[in-house]
Amino acid sequence: MSIQQWRGALCVLACTLALSPLAHAADVVKVGLVGNASDAPVYIAQARGYFRDAGIEIQTSTFDSAAKQIAPLATGDLDVGGGATSAGLFNAATRKIDLRIVADRSRMAPGYSFMTLMIRKDLVDSGRFKTYADLKGLKMALAAPAIAPSTMLNAAAEKGGLTFDDMEKVYISYPLQVSAFHSKVVDGSMMIEPFATAIVKANEGVRFSTTEDFLPSAQIALVYYGEKFASGKTDIGKRFMKAYVRACRDYNDAVVNGKFGDDANAQEIVQIVSKGINMSEADVREAYVQALDPDGRPNLEAVARDLAFFRKTGSITGDVKLDQIVDLSFVEAAVKELGPYKPKAR
């Protein structure tokens, strides 16, 4: 065989190896979802190929709540999770179950109505409920005990001169709260979209006020990394976050005045979210959306308020400080690589 033939054969071999699945096998990242619109950045990053660009393949599992993700995050059976801030998150830290708060997932901001204090329509129509003080004695639904919406409900009660204990709490998942309004099992809820819109459309509930009226800039949900993933697979964690932040920016470009806009980008985002949460595009477009930081940075002041409330109500069993479980190095690395966010011209 001539030297040129050898060189040609070696070139073919090199190209074959470079294109082989083994040479380019994606890093698998196991991601926990909660089955509502706060999963949007994950759906967007997946649909638009951002995870693929980062050399990542995601495997998703849906949980009833973020609290149920804590154990698998700790064992490494789950790499990335997300959902409402909870006392369970902080209690895990006191038990040396290491998790990290790494990014924003869902928040409130001026002009957004994603999370509202919702009251049964018949109570409003009859005059039984007129002001925050009328929360006294009502059965108020929360998705789980000692989660961020508990802080919000407490703030609403305080605006009426009440305490958290002046209301009866009923713990039931958001989807089941829709039927609970219909059957009058509950009187009200700290309700998120798209379930709030479903209740209003059924003429069974009233958006009395958004959380902006009694607890401005609330942090609804966060992204968590398990310690084994954060410290043992730091490079993959950074690549995941870069894809996630790209999706956060696409999401922000699609939102106008607290709802999805009408341009081509927004329409594609609506289609992605609709498919992800198994809801019609019309319903997704009709619902209010959550705010989301375009750089993925969480509102740590709001998280600190949650921590203080959990501690006040005795939901936290040990001494834990917020900075023990916050790690913004992943979003900072993503923003450094992507550059400053530049809102899309409308």
Q: Structure tokens of 85?
A: 């801030």
Return the beta strands (E) in 129-173 as ranges: 139-142, 168-171
The torsion defined by the Cα of 310, 298, 274 and 150, in degrees rounded to 10, comes to: 10
Number of residues that make up the chain: 346
| Contact in structure between 140 and 167 (CB atoms under 8 Å) | yes
Work out the number of other CB atoms within 10 angstroms of the CB of residue 62: 10
CATH architecture of 27-108+219-338: 3-Layer(aba) Sandwich (3.40)
What's the whole-model pTM score? 0.89
pLDDT tens readout for residues 150-202: 999 999 999 999 999 999 999 998 889 999 999 999 999 999 998 999 999 99
Dist. CA 144–CA 173, nearest whole Å: 7
Please tell me whether residue 107 adopts helix, strand or coil conformation: strand
For the chain, which residues make up each domain, given as ranges?
27-108+219-338, 115-213
Q: What's the confidence (pLDDT) of residue 19?
A: 46
Q: What's the confidence (pLDDT) of residue 11?
A: 52
Q: Name the nearest CA neighbour of 186 among 207, 168, 208, 166.
A: 168
Whether 115-213 and 27-108+219-338 are alike in CATH topology: the answer is yes
Max CA pair span of the chain = 95
- Which CATH number is 115-213's, of 3.40.190.10, 1.10.10.10, 3.40.50.1100, 3.40.120.10? 3.40.190.10
Q: Which amino acid is at 197?
A: T
In b/e form, how buried is each residue of 103-125, taking b as 16+ CB within 10 angstroms?
bbbbbbbeebbbbbbbbbbbbbe
Q: What's the confidence (pLDDT) of residue 266?
A: 96
Q: What's the confidence (pLDDT) of residue 10?
A: 47
Q: What's the confidence (pLDDT) of residue 186?
A: 98
Dist. CA 214–CA 210, nearest whole Å: 8
DSSP letters spanning 290-333: -B--TT----HHHHHHHHHHHHHTT---S---GGGTB--HHHHH
pLDDT (tens, 9 = 90+) of the chain, 346 residues, equals 555 554 554 454 455 444 444 446 889 999 999 888 899 999 999 999 999 999 999 999 998 778 889 889 989 999 999 988 889 888 888 877 778 999 999 999 999 999 999 999 999 999 999 999 999 999 999 998 999 999 999 999 999 999 999 999 999 988 899 999 999 999 999 999 989 999 999 999 999 999 999 999 999 999 999 999 999 999 999 999 999 999 999 999 999 989 999 999 999 999 999 999 988 999 999 999 999 999 999 999 999 999 999 999 999 988 888 988 999 999 999 999 999 999 887 6
Q: What angle do CA 245, 240, 101 make, to 5 degrees?
A: 75
Q: What's the confidence (pLDDT) of residue 7?
A: 54
Dist. CA 209–CA 160, nearest whole Å: 13
Strand pairing class (188-192; 27-33)? unpaired
Residues forming beta bridges with residue 169, ordered by sequence position: 140
Dist. CA 36–CA 110, nearest whole Å: 21
Q: What's the confidence (pLDDT) of residue 160?
A: 98
